[in-house]
């Protein structure tokens, strides 16, 4: 193969690559309008390379005209650079003016091209290994200088964009500079004959890589799916090079191995046949893969559109219940039969019903994994569908968990801010209210006994409300220490006015919890007082306090069952059905438990009409312990 033939083939490959890339960019420009200008750049490069090929085939006039159209190539690139840099930042007046002036710059570039044609700025001469090659005449150097000037302006715009942008746009600009330097290195040899250098332009043989590297560097951070295509392309190129190397080795050793017929075949023919076989394999891979998939998994209906639809609908879930409902609906509809979905971890799993297949997602080691249960009778195609869906569902679990954690952190921040404001207001209100209450108490000293009793009762109630507000809105500081739970509760129960209410204590001797004893007493007193207010007038009133070996405390009483609407708002402040209550007792309990890293919850399914469970946790282990306990929010936490 002669050097001129090699050069001609590389120019044709470059032109073909540029045309393909330009067509793809025009298709993608529906999503990103500035790619139209980059497509124009690719088209002009294709025409520029075609001009060199035309000169080799004695179409000298046409070839020279195409090469002299060179100024339009950097003009398209300048248009793209301006549009690309002027997006995603505050609009810059000078860039806006430059963008509006692009029509004039295109007209000026076209005028330079027409002037070069009229003044015959180029011709073709025999040089080096070429029987004809393009060279600039004296008037043609203006054409080249203008092209260089526009290219410098385009890279100046990109330099400003590099200093202004961040993230993927900045990475794209870096890629443009790298590919631009590569293109300059390859194309510089194009002017050697015009400078009187009788040298073969070897660097131009690599020119097909320039347009691909440039476009890939630009779009790889903007259109992410292109990376998958490039990954496949590089895989096939690597396989082709490997096969060519093996063929070359076989050709060299064939004579020594006794394969004389193979040794007599020209090496280039072996390489050509191998390349054709590999290209044919690449073309047939996808159809064969589809055919094999249908044979192994008959009835399989998975494609990218379906996966995208699944992914987008799973993203709409705002809670675990929503995710379960959406996931169950999607996979059941796809399989044409009921499929259950369960989550294990921080979320209380719903009980399974029947023997329907189930996708169970579990949190292990901070990551979510899925498991298919009772899928043994499902066909391979549908099972594969379940595995793909389970993988997407597990990813959605991780996304939802992080979203809920961020929302909870924001809620806690706003609640803390609210409590700080409420604390300041409560302190001021307490000071302002207690003064007139003291005056009322002193003024009531001269009243009759009945009136004075009524006044003192209401003053005590007001004072208790003020105290509860200060506790609820104040900053909770904990003094943690080991607490002998049985001894502390026994000492506490001695001072309770039971009024005939029967009480039971079931706490193992020696059981310890790590908590603030004063705050724990406050929690127990509030819960006991709250229970006594309802069961004190019952003939068979009973209150039971128990704790398990994990330190979970439960207080049961046989008072009236709470209405469902009250149970859902039980721990909110000022929600009280207790006669004479402040409405802050259970809200204070909840604050104290959360300060300990634990929580409280109401239950009516433990054999008693009313039960409260207290879960304490050490600061470092609070989250880990909570993950091991089925989480039903303390009603208020989820509302």
pLDDT for 299 equals 60
How many CB atoms are closer than 10 A to CB 281? Answer: 13
pLDDT for 446 equals 72
In angstroms, rounded to a whole number, what is the distance separating the alpha carbons of residues 447 and 555?
43
* Mean predicted confidence (pLDDT) in 571-576: 66
* Mean predicted confidence (pLDDT) in 416-432: 63
Segments in 86-139 forming alpha helices (H): 93-100, 102-118
**pTM for the full model?**
0.46
* In a shared domain, residues 327 and 372: yes
* In a shared domain, residues 492 and 538: yes
* Segment 267-286, tens digit of pLDDT: 667 767 777 777 787 777 77
* Segment 63-82, tens digit of pLDDT: 999 999 999 999 999 998 88
Choose one of 296, 320, 344: the last residue of a domain.
296
* Mean predicted confidence (pLDDT) in 510-532: 88
pLDDT at 605 over 70: yes
* In a shared domain, residues 369 and 271: no
* In a shared domain, residues 504 and 386: no
Residue with tokens 């989820």: 638
Residue with tokens 């001072």: 495
In angstroms, rounded to a whole number, what is the distance separating the alpha carbons of residues 435 and 451?
20
* In a shared domain, residues 216 and 250: no
Domain that holds residue 81: 3-223
* In a shared domain, residues 101 and 195: yes
* Segment 457-502, tens digit of pLDDT: 777 766 666 666 666 655 667 788 999 999 999 988 988 888 888 9
pLDDT for 633 equals 31
Is residue 457 a part of any domain in this protein?
A: no
pLDDT at 535 over 60: yes
pLDDT for 113 equals 93
Mean pLDDT value across the chain = 79
CATH of the domain at 539: 3.30.565.10
Residues 6+ apart with CB under 8 A from 514: 480, 481, 482, 483, 616, 618
Buried b (16+ CB within 10 A) or exposed e, 105-131: bbeebeebbeebbeeebbbbeebebbe
Is residue 271 a part of any domain in this protein?
A: yes
pLDDT for 635 equals 29
* In a shared domain, residues 535 and 554: yes
Q: Is 371 helix (H, G, I), strand (E, B) or coil?
A: strand
In angstroms, rounded to a whole number, what is the distance separating the alpha carbons of residues 623 and 36?
53
User: Domain count of the chain?
Assistant: 4
* In a shared domain, residues 167 and 265: no
* In a shared domain, residues 309 and 282: no
């Amino acid at each position: 193969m002669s050097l001129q033939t090699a050069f001609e083939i590389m120019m044709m490959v470059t032109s073909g690559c540029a045309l393909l890339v330009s067509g793809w960019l025009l298709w993608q420009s529906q999503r990103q309008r500035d790619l139209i200008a980059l497509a124009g750049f690719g088209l002009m490069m294709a025409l520029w390379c075609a001009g060199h090929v035309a000169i080799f085939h004695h179409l000298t006039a046409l070839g020279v005209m195409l090469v002299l159209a060179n100024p339009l190539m950097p003009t398209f690139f300048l248009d793209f650079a301006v549009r690309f840099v002027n997006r995603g930042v505050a609009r810059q007046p000078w860039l806006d003016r430059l963008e509006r002036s692009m029509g004039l710059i295109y007209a000026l570039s076209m005028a330079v091209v027409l002037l070069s044609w009229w003044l015959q700025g180029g011709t073709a001469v025999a040089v080096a290994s070429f029987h004809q090659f393009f060279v600039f005449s004296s008037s043609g150097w203006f054409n080249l200088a203008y092209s260089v000037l526009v290219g410098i302006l385009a890279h100046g715009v990109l330099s400003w964009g590099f200093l202004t942008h961040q993230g993927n746009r900045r990475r794209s600009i870096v890629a443009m500079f790298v590919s631009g330097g590569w293109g300059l290195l390859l194309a510089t040899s194009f002017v050697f004959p015009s400078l009187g250098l009788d040298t073969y332009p070897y660097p131009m043989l690599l020119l097909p890589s320039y347009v691909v590297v440039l476009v890939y560097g630009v779009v790889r951070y903007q259109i992410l799916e292109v990376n998958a295509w490039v990954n496949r392309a590089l895989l096939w190129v690597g396989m082709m090079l490997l096969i060519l190397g093996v063929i070359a080795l076989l050709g060299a050793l064939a004579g020594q191995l006794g394969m004389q017929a193979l040794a007599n075949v020209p090496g280039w023919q072996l390489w050509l046949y191998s390349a054709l076989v590999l290209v044919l394999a690449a073309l047939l891979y996808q159809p064969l893969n589809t055919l094999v998939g249908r044979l192994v998994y008959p009835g399989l209906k998975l494609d990218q559109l379906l996966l995208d639809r699944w992914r987008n609908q799973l993203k709409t879930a705002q809670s675990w219940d929503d995710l379960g409902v959406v996931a169950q609906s999607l996979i059941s509809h796809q399989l044409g039969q009921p499929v259950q979905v369960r989550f294990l971890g921080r979320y209380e799993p719903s009980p399974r019903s029947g023997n329907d297949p189930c996708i169970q997602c579990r949190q292990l080691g901070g990551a979510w994994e899925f498991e298919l249960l009772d899928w043994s009778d499902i066909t391979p195609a549908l099972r594969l569908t379940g595995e793909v869906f389970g993988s997407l569902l597990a990813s959605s679990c991780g996304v939802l968990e992080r979203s809920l954690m961020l929302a909870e952190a924001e809620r806690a921040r706003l609640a803390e801010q609210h409590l700080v404001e409420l604390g300041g207001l409560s302190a001021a209100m307490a000071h302002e209210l207690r003064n007139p209450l003291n005056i009322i108490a002193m003024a009531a000293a001269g009243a009759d006994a009945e009136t004075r009793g009524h006044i003192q009762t209401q003053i005590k109630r007001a004072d208790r409300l003020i105290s509860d507000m200060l506790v609820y809105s104040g900053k909770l500081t904990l003094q943690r220490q080991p607490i002998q739970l049985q001894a502390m509760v026994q000492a506490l129960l001695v001072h309770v006015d039971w009024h005939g209410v029967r009480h039971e204590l079931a706490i193992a001797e020696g059981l310890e919890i790590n908590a603030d004893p004063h705050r724990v007493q406050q929690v127990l007193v509030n819960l006991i007082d709250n229970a006594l207010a309802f069961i004190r007038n019952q003939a068979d009133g009973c209150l039971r306090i128990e704790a398990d070996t994990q330190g979970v405390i439960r207080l049961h009483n046989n008072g009236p069952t709470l209405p469902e609407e009250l149970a859902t708002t039980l721990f909110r402040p000022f929600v009280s059905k207790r006669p004479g209550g402040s409405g802050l007792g259970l809200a204070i309990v909840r604050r104290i438990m959360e300060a300990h890293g634990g929580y409280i919850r109401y239950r009516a399914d433990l054999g008693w009409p009313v039960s409260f469970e207290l879960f304490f946790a050490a600061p470092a282990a609070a989250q880990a312990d909570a993950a091991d306990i089925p989480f039903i929010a303390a009603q208020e936490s989820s509302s």
